[in-house]
Amino acid sequence: MLQASPVPGKGLLSPDDHTLILIDHQSQMAFATKSIDAVLLRNNAAMVAAAAAGFNVSTILTTVAEKTFSGPMFDEIKAAFPTAAPIDRTSMNSWEDKNITAAVNAAGKGRIVLGGLWTSVCIVGPALSAIDQGFEVYVIADACGDVSDEAH
């Protein structure tokens, strides 16, 4: 017979066993988000960032074409990590940027937690790439949105 015991499951995340990657939470692109209210998405991403900072979760911030097209990362996310400089990229799949994978490797965690502005672009590519390379991947669905419900 199975016996219940008052201990957390081994599959649960803890602050020290994963790396959080917040991807492309940028103002210019947020205007096209329709699957979730843009203010709610921004607030949710800010809460995730604040919680991660408060619990000292290994966190990587990344943007795409910040200076030329998409604008800066949400101020609320940057405020949670005042000394962190987001890694700016030109590739759509953040996992294809050597600076991102170098940061993941430096963190040394086998679990990746993702939040990104658009699920279809910011999340699918890195999630599938990380899974293909043996990482365990989690997605914070309410810290993501997309141009439609179907895309999300």
* Catalytic residue list: 122
Contacts for 92 with CB less than 8 Å, ≥ 6 apart:
64, 121, 125
Structure tokens at 19: 């790396």
Query: How many residues comprise the chain?
Result: 152
Rounded to whole angstroms, how far apart are CA atoms 27 and 126?
Answer: 21
* Strand 136-139, strand 111-116: pairing: parallel
User: Is residue 65 exposed (0-12), middle (13-18) or buried (19+ Cβ within 10 Å)?
Assistant: middle
